[in-house]
Amino acid sequence: MRTCVILNPISGSGNSVAGVQRAVASIPGAEIRVSDGPASIGRLTRAAVTDGFQRIVAAGGDGTVSEVASAVLAAGGEETGLECGVLPIGTGNDLALALGIPRGLDRAIEILRSGSARPIDVIVCDARERIGDGQERAFAWNAIVGGFGGRVSDHLTPERKHRWRRHVYLRAALSELRELSLHEVRIEIDGRPHELDLLMLVIANGSCTGGGIPLAPGARPDDGVLDVIGIRAKNPFDVLRLVPHVLSGRHLDQPGVFHSRGRTVSVESDPGFRYNRDGEEWGEGSAEFEICADAVAFVRP
């Protein structure tokens, strides 16, 4: 199978381009194409599909995987026989974790050799307002995070990711504790209304966000539903009380935590939520989300 590796050279794990090239050389006939920025990842993926590659491998973090998978989906996804692979060399690598793909280039490449391609779901996202350039409609493969967690992405510069690696998420979250603010939220899940005061909202396809934090334990990227988690902590002390429960994935039954599942989610909030999508800032205000099952096949154990 012809394999093209789309490499994000500024991913936060510290792997050099030369090191990735040496590792990928063990895959017969694999070709590496290096991006020159986030905007070029989709373009390189589309070109690889046009050039006849059947397997497109994202070498980077969740943002890189999201861009590659979204371009593969736009090219026809699962129905075309195209496959995605992951070399998790980014900062968070949360989707790779959900798929059972280990850290470390050699082990991840072994998955590409011995694993099988099976489809996963995608979150179709529509926001009233986008942050930055781009379309209002987008795709998320791991999770959407709004509110407190959404603002954390403001601190995730490439320099900080490179310096602090996966600990950058925790440091960013701690820096936001001084400015906690609750949102009055009306959320509909499969048409069922809920009115909540929330600090943070997570709409998850995978189980972890922020570099391995199990905010949505039990969520699977191929189960055909979204996991919706709301955090209702009112002050830093409530947040700190929840931290050990969250880190162990045992927070869903704790006071101050809302959890539900469904296929469609509609959110209105005051003030408007600020969202990040697969670790990258995306939109704000009212938004709608829907799960689309069996969107793109990923190589996994």
Classify domain 3-121 at the CATH superfamily level: Probable inorganic polyphosphate/atp-NAD kinase; domain 1 (3.40.50.10330)
For position 14, what pLDDT does the model report? 55
- Strands, DSSP E only, in the chain? 3-7, 31-34, 55-60, 83-88, 116-130, 137-140, 143-147, 183-189, 192-198, 200-204, 226-231, 257-262, 264-270, 274-277, 280-300
The dihedrals phi and psi of 219, each to the nearest 5 degrees, come to: -70, 140
Residue 18: its pLDDT value, please?
83
When computed from its CA atoms, the radius of gyration of the chain, rounded to whole angstroms, is 18
| pLDDT, position 151 | 47
Q: Comparing C-alpha atoms, which of 168, 196, 202, 164 is closest to residue 183?
A: 196
The model carries a pTM of: 0.87
Asked if residues 150 and 185 have their Cβ atoms less than 8 Å apart, the reply is no
Looking at residue 168, its pLDDT comes to 45
Residue 161: what pLDDT?
47
68-81 pLDDT, tens digit per residue, is 999 999 998 878 88
The pLDDT value given to residue 83 = 96
What is the reported pLDDT for 175? Answer: 53
Q: Does domain 122-293 have CATH number 2.60.200.40?
A: yes
Residue 131 pLDDT:
60
* Pairing between β-strand 264-270 and β-strand 183-189 as defined by DSSP bridges: antiparallel
The pLDDT of residue 12 is 56
The one-digit pLDDT tens for each residue of the chain (301 residues) are 899 999 988 765 556 778 888 888 888 889 999 998 778 999 999 999 999 999 999 999 999 999 999 999 999 887 888 999 999 998 789 999 999 999 888 999 999 999 999 999 999 999 776 665 555 679 999 999 998 754 444 544 445 444 444 544 455 555 555 567 788 999 999 999 999 999 889 999 999 988 888 999 999 999 999 999 999 877 777 877 888 888 889 999 999 999 999 999 999 998 888 898 998 888 888 999 999 999 999 999 9
* pLDDT for residue 157: 46
For the chain, the structural domain boundaries read 3-121, 122-293
CA 233/CA 263 separation, integer angstroms? 26
Per CATH, 3-121 and 122-293 having the same topology is answered no
